[in-house]
Each structure stands twice: as structure tokens, then as C-alpha cells.
Amino acid sequence: MQINFQFLSGAIKNDSFFSTNIDQKDFNNDDFVDIGHFSPKGAKKFAKLIYPEVLKCLNSSNSFLKGSLNKKVKKSKF
């Protein structure tokens, strides 16, 4: 797995979330419309990769969003 350590370092410095489920090898040129912007296909692929972690975060007792949704967020079909 190739982790972007520059982004990881920035996330740590800013106390931000960083997903280790994203591997740069999961994406190819068809997943982007230009450098850094997803195509619809790439955006869907990215969403599928991060969805489990976002769901876990939203349902976490430590989440600042807990309770704001009034119910547990359930798994979705893509």
C-alpha cells in the first residue's frame, strides 16, 4: 500500500482524519478529469473506499456529530 505521507503528516499536525484505506494504486487515469479532481467514476470509487470509515466515525461515541443525526447511520448501497 502506498500512503501519502505528506498528507498524513498534515492531517496529524491539524488533528484531522486521514484514511489509511486509500491506496494510490486503487486509482488510474480514468478516475480523474485532471490532476487532483475525480471523474464521476473516480468519485464513486473514492466514496466506496472511505464510506466504512466515515460510517464508523459518525456512529462513534467520540464523534462531535453523535446525536445530531437522531439515529444510527446505516450501511448504504452504492
Q: Per residue in 53-73, pLDDT tens? A: 888 777 776 666 565 555 555
- pLDDT for res 4: 73
Q: Per residue in 44-54, pLDDT tens? A: 999 999 888 88
Q: Give how many domains the chain has, as a whole number.
A: 1
**pTM attached to this predicted model:** 0.64
Cα–Cα dist 56/9, whole Å: 22
CA distances from 35 to 30, 44, 50, 70, 77 (A): 11, 17, 20, 38, 28
The answer to whether 38 touches 31, Cβ cutoff 8 Å, is: yes
Helices (H) and strands (E) in the chain, counts: 2, 2
Whole domain around residue 6: which residue ranges?
1-78
